[in-house]
Structure formats: C-alpha cells, structure tokens
C-alpha cells in the first residue's frame, strides 16, 4: 500500500483573492507550481550570519597549445603528463578544477597537466577505455604508467603523482 501526502504552505500575507482548493488534482498545473514554489523568507539570526571572508586564489596561467594529435602532445612533452579526462556535466570533475590548478602550480616543474573533454574527444576517451569520470592517467615518455579514477583532495593527488614520478621506469 502506497501513501502519498502533499502539503502546501501559503503565507498569511499572500492574498489569493478567492478560495481555492490546494489539492493537486483540482488545480491547474501552472497554479499548482506557483503555490508549491513559494520561497522561504530568509531568517535573520546573528549566530547564522557570517561576514564574507577574503580568499586569496593564486592565478595560474593556462598555456593553450595546439597539437595535431594527442599522441604528438605526449611524445613532445619534456615532462610526464597528467591527463584529466572529464565532462562538463560531471560534478566530481568540476570539484577537481581548483584542485588541478593547485596541483599544476605546485608541481609545474615536474609534470604537465592536460584536460580532455570526453564529450568532444570521444575517440581519445575510447582509445584509453574511459568509463568513469574523472579519470586520470599519468604518461611518461608517451606511455601510460598510472591510472586512477575519482575526485580526491590536492594533497592526495600530489602524493600519488610524486610516488609515480619517483619510481624508475
């Protein structure tokens, strides 16, 4: 047995002008949406309010380069390459954007960070069998040497990259 219950709160200051039924079956779809989408009024509490804090975000210069192929990029890189396979609709991928900027800045002398949109470059995603997002692959001398998936904090990502870079080929 399934039970469905619907409740609508109408503020006392709202003058509807006439008596209406609040049952969804007796209202037009647009009127029902209007009533159910009433906004909550913000509460003023000194405990909950906080002053905005200034955050200093370092500027990272992204260097866009054009290569005729992904393989050429891997071959011509003088450093190992961390490739982030992502999609614009992926929440964890968006979470990783500032983390990758931080990692790129901290390890700029050790590794090159490249982002590949799997929606635009499906052939590359298929070539490396990308099935989960975000997926990270570290390439050394044009060959994959480590692969991992999922969002992680900056310190864990840096530790993972440095452990791969310290292992001799």
**104 and 94 in contact (C-beta within 8 Å)?**
no
Reference 61, options 108, 121, 99; nearest CA is 108
Q: Which residues pair with 116 in a beta bridge?
A: 85
The yes-or-no answer on residue 14 being catalytic is: no
Look up residue 79 and give its two tokens: 């450093």
The yes-or-no answer on residue 90 being catalytic is: yes
Q: Which of 4, 14, 93, 145 is catalytic?
A: 93
Angstrom distance (rounded) from CA 117 to CA 113: 13
Residues serving a catalytic function are 90, 93
């Amino acid at each position: 047995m399934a039970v469905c219950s619907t409740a609508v709160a109408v503020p006392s200051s709202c003058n509807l002008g006439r008596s209406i039924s609040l049952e969804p079956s007796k209202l037009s779809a647009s009127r029902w949406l209007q009533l159910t989408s009433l906004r909550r009024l913000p509460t003023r509490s000194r405990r909950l309010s906080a002053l905005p804090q200034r955050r200093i975000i370092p500027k990272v210069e992204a260097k866009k380069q054009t290569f005729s192929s992904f393989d050429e990029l891997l071959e011509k890189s003088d450093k190992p390459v961390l490739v982030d396979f992502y999609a614009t609709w992926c929440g964890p991928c968006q979470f990783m954007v500032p983390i990758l900027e931080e990692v790129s800045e901290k390890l700029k002398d050790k590794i090159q960070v490249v982002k590949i949109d799997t929606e635009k470059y499906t052939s590359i995603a298929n070539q490396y069998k990308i099935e989960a997002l975000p997926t990270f692959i570290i390439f050394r001398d044009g060959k994959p040497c480590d692969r991992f998936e999922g969002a992680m904090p900056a310190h864990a990502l840096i530790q993972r990259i440095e452990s791969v870079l310290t292992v001799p080929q």
